[in-house]
Chains A and B, each alone.
Chain A
């Protein structure tokens, strides 16, 4: 609650209170009369703002270098060029939603070309899943939303409503002159920002005490060689600063401040802390093509947003002897920056009864720790992403098939080995277990005419129908 002209009003409510009819702006006395047992907490706008800033910095660490708080209740994340590292925008949004919900917050997420449209959609389009608007689709997406979604002051919203403007769509098509005379330039500025007709600069937040340096440019630059030169200057200074505090960079964020007020950012990561100027310059150089300079860049900021201790001796050995380990880190960095962190991994064992779940991915330079897979179990070198049904001819229920048809080709089985019986993880709610909760898989290795060896399984133990539907699948191929 907040004091407002001597009376106390509700500042924010949770879902339960909203369900009881209490909305922000209502007098606390009235709310109490509706729900006597209402729990009222003093509003703390300053604290909220600080928390929002911390939240933005967290999102900056996880998702994008270019993040800013959008008070009082939101943050902006510039996703340009960031989704690839997560394997697509959808995966990034799912990850974000999971983390925010996991921290106990109700999250509403919207993605659009413009900050204004994303702001409007996140707050005024009821949906518990992330809303994504395709490129150029923001006009159509926000047209049905109420005018309040445009971030106007409450007085203007009321006045517009009295004039008959309920939806943004009506504003888009209305003649601008009379509205501008009545409401000033702010109305159309907000509308144009949401539609993408005028840019809306977002000043990214950078955590305090982040080693960083900035170059203001007398002449705006727009070409790759010029950008490379400035990156070199920035790195010279930053590397010196990192050496002074005994740290190496694990992550660098480069912000390009354009003459139109927009900020374009790229981020690189390293597998091991580094102060190697040339290595870092190469990594940033790989990403230059992702920077749209617009009409020109007038300033650049380079920030080491993640640093780790790096002793001076370590640094020197890495340079002088050209040993394998540091070299590998450099290669891993280069591949990760080009293809995405997630596409670079080593395989490590995971305990699971189902073969397709026995592999987990670990960092390319991480340690798996623990034993490997059981080398005595036959496992195919090529495994199908998901088992494919095959038509089989089997002599006896408990015998391997004599023949199977896969992808339209008939294969006669000459020899077979098995079964290896695997019991489904019935406590899981996905995969094959969802279909047949008590499923048993009987795996057979079969050799077909010509010598090819395949991995087939029967869903079901061959006797009790409850153990599975007795259908056959192919799961992989051996050497």
Chain B
């Protein structure tokens, strides 16, 4: 009995050291395909996550909406720390994030964005803190991860214009996502269908890397699987089984 208690206490302590989000509720995407893949059934709350688009502005725009969709489903104020001035607030509402909930912090450069993030992360009760930077050092990522773990506020470092294929270096983040625009469904009539994204989980603590094609956030911030593609992973499995 005492051994069991000791082991479970050790487990809790290891989880605490790892900061893997066990102490704070996870943020589910509401999409079983992704949630089932992540430990805890969603994005770890109270942890640092890294999100990137690419050098293409449209991919950074997609990553912006991906973030807005996540934050739309967490109650509380959002602090969005900026280095560039191209965030267009009216679009956030299209992913369900009420622009009224977002407090912009124009911090000026990478160092100040990270400082501002850390300051915000010390305050429990926020829905999340986003920081847009060009680079993220290992030390900075550790500090953010620590601050997020203590307050339980999820932190998102948005690597702007990050080249595809760049080695994931910001060490302490629990997950690293790369969001890229994917071709939308071809309609019979002129016009554009719901946008699609290529969502890549490039690194995750306690999970394999994975890629999904999803339909972009709706007005409630929810992702969806494209109807025509739902069976594709299953088909791939069959192929592997046959081989």
Size range of the interface on A? 35 or more
Whether A338 pairs with B65 at a CB distance below 8 angstroms is: no
Q: Which 7 A-B pairs have the closest CB atoms?
A: A452-B58, A347-B89, A479-B65, A451-B181, A343-B106, A477-B61, A383-B88
Whether A368 pairs with B105 at a CB distance below 8 angstroms is: no
- B133 CB within 8 Å of chain A: no
Whether A359 pairs with B88 at a CB distance below 8 angstroms is: yes
The distance from the CB of B124 to the nearest CB of chain A, in whole angstroms, is 8
Q: Known: A335-B119, A451-B180, A479-B217. Is A382-B61 also a contact (CB below 8 A)?
A: yes
Instruction: Tell me the complex Cα distance, A380–B187, Å.
Output: 21
A372, A381, A414, A448: the one within 8 Å of B65 (CB) = A381
- A416 CB within 8 Å of chain B: yes
The distance from the CB of A353 to the nearest CB of chain B, in whole angstroms, is 14
Within 8 A of A (CB), among B189-240: 190-192, 195-198, 216-217, 219
Interface residues of A (CB under 8 A from B): 324, 327-328, 330-332, 334-335, 338-339, 342-349, 355, 358-359, 361, 364, 368, 372-373, 375, 379-385, 414-417, 445, 447-454, 476-479
Instruction: Tell me the complex Cα distance, A449–B198, Å.
Output: 14
Whether A327 pairs with B123 at a CB distance below 8 angstroms is: yes
Instruction: Tell me the complex Cα distance, A344–B80, Å.
Output: 10
Contact with A along B112-140 (1 / 0, CB 8 A): 10011001100111000000000000000
Whether B192 pairs with A451 at a CB distance below 8 angstroms is: no
A344, A364, A379, A451: the one within 8 Å of B183 (CB) = A451
B175: A residues at CB distance < 8 A: none
Inter-chain CB contacts under 8 Å: number: 170
B86, B125, B183, B196: the one within 8 Å of A327 (CB) = B125
Instruction: Tell me the complex Cα distance, A252–B107, Å.
Output: 23
B79: A residues at CB distance < 8 A: 331
Closest to A475 in B: B88
Whether A339 pairs with B104 at a CB distance below 8 angstroms is: no
- B167 CB within 8 Å of chain A: no
Interface residues of B (CB under 8 A from A): 56-62, 64-66, 68, 76-77, 79, 85-95, 98-100, 102-108, 112, 115-116, 119-120, 123-125, 180-184, 186-187, 190-192, 195-198, 216-217, 219
B93: A residues at CB distance < 8 A: 372-373, 375
The distance from the CB of B105 to the nearest CB of chain A, in whole angstroms, is 6
B103, B197, B216, B219: the one within 8 Å of A344 (CB) = B103
Instruction: Tell me the complex Cα distance, A253–B182, Å.
Output: 55
Q: Known: A347-B104, A415-B191, A451-B183. Is A359-B58 also a contact (CB below 8 A)?
A: no
> Can you list 10 pairs linking A and B with CB atoms under 8 Å apart?
A328-B125, A335-B119, A344-B105, A358-B90, A359-B88, A359-B90, A381-B68, A451-B183, A479-B61, A479-B91
Instruction: Tell me the complex Cα distance, A343–B98, Å.
Output: 20
A344, A347, A355, A452: the one within 8 Å of B59 (CB) = A452
Whether B120 pairs with A335 at a CB distance below 8 angstroms is: yes
Instruction: Tell me the complex Cα distance, A450–B216, Å.
Output: 15
B108: A residues at CB distance < 8 A: 339, 343
Whether A346 pairs with B99 at a CB distance below 8 angstroms is: yes
Instruction: Tell me the complex Cα distance, A451–B61, Å.
Output: 12
Whether B105 pairs with A451 at a CB distance below 8 angstroms is: no
Whether A382 pairs with B87 at a CB distance below 8 angstroms is: yes
Closest to A342 in B: B106
Main secondary structure of the interface of A (DSSP, over half): mixed
Q: Known: A335-B119, A381-B87, A451-B196. Is A347-B99 also a contact (CB below 8 A)?
A: yes
Closest to B113 in A: A339
Whether B119 pairs with A415 at a CB distance below 8 angstroms is: no
B186: A residues at CB distance < 8 A: 415
Whether A335 pairs with B190 at a CB distance below 8 angstroms is: no
Whether B182 pairs with A451 at a CB distance below 8 angstroms is: yes
Closest to B103 in A: A364
Whether A335 pairs with B58 at a CB distance below 8 angstroms is: no
Instruction: Tell me the complex Cα distance, A364–B126, Å.
Output: 14
Instruction: Tell me the complex Cα distance, A328–B129, Å.
Output: 13
Whether A479 pairs with B120 at a CB distance below 8 angstroms is: no
Instruction: Tell me the complex Cα distance, A416–B192, Å.
Output: 6
The distance from the CB of A128 to the nearest CB of chain B, in whole angstroms, is 31
B95: A residues at CB distance < 8 A: 479
Instruction: Tell me the complex Cα distance, A328–B127, Å.
Output: 12
11 more contacts with CB within 8 A, not counting A373-B90, A384-B86, A453-B58, are A331-B119, A338-B115, A338-B116, A361-B104, A368-B100, A372-B93, A382-B57, A383-B88, A452-B57, A479-B95, A479-B181
A448: B residues at CB distance < 8 A: 58
Instruction: Tell me the complex Cα distance, A343–B100, Å.
Output: 16
Instruction: Tell me the complex Cα distance, A359–B106, Å.
Output: 15
A355: B residues at CB distance < 8 A: 90
Whether A385 pairs with B86 at a CB distance below 8 angstroms is: yes
A383: B residues at CB distance < 8 A: 86, 88
Q: Which of A331, A349, A358, A384 has the most CB of B within 10 A?
A: A331
Whether B104 pairs with A345 at a CB distance below 8 angstroms is: yes
B198: A residues at CB distance < 8 A: 451
Instruction: Tell me the complex Cα distance, A119–B66, Å.
Output: 55
A364: B residues at CB distance < 8 A: 103
Whether B106 pairs with A334 at a CB distance below 8 angstroms is: no
Instruction: Tell me the complex Cα distance, A379–B120, Å.
Output: 28
B57: A residues at CB distance < 8 A: 382, 452, 454, 476-477
Closest to B115 in A: A338
Instruction: Tell me the complex Cα distance, A30–B242, Å.
Output: 113
B65: A residues at CB distance < 8 A: 381, 479
Whether A328 pairs with B123 at a CB distance below 8 angstroms is: yes
Q: Known: A379-B94, A382-B57. Is A359-B89 also a contact (CB below 8 A)?
A: yes
The distance from the CB of A336 to the nearest CB of chain B, in whole angstroms, is 9
The distance from the CB of A473 to the nearest CB of chain B, in whole angstroms, is 14
Instruction: Tell me the complex Cα distance, A361–B198, Å.
Output: 33
Q: Known: A381-B87, A453-B58. Is A479-B183 also a contact (CB below 8 A)?
A: no
Instruction: Tell me the complex Cα distance, A360–B152, Å.
Output: 32
B86, B102, B119: the one within 8 Å of A338 (CB) = B119
Instruction: Tell me the complex Cα distance, A223–B108, Å.
Output: 29
Instruction: Tell me the complex Cα distance, A375–B197, Å.
Output: 21
The distance from the CB of A270 to the nearest CB of chain B, in whole angstroms, is 16
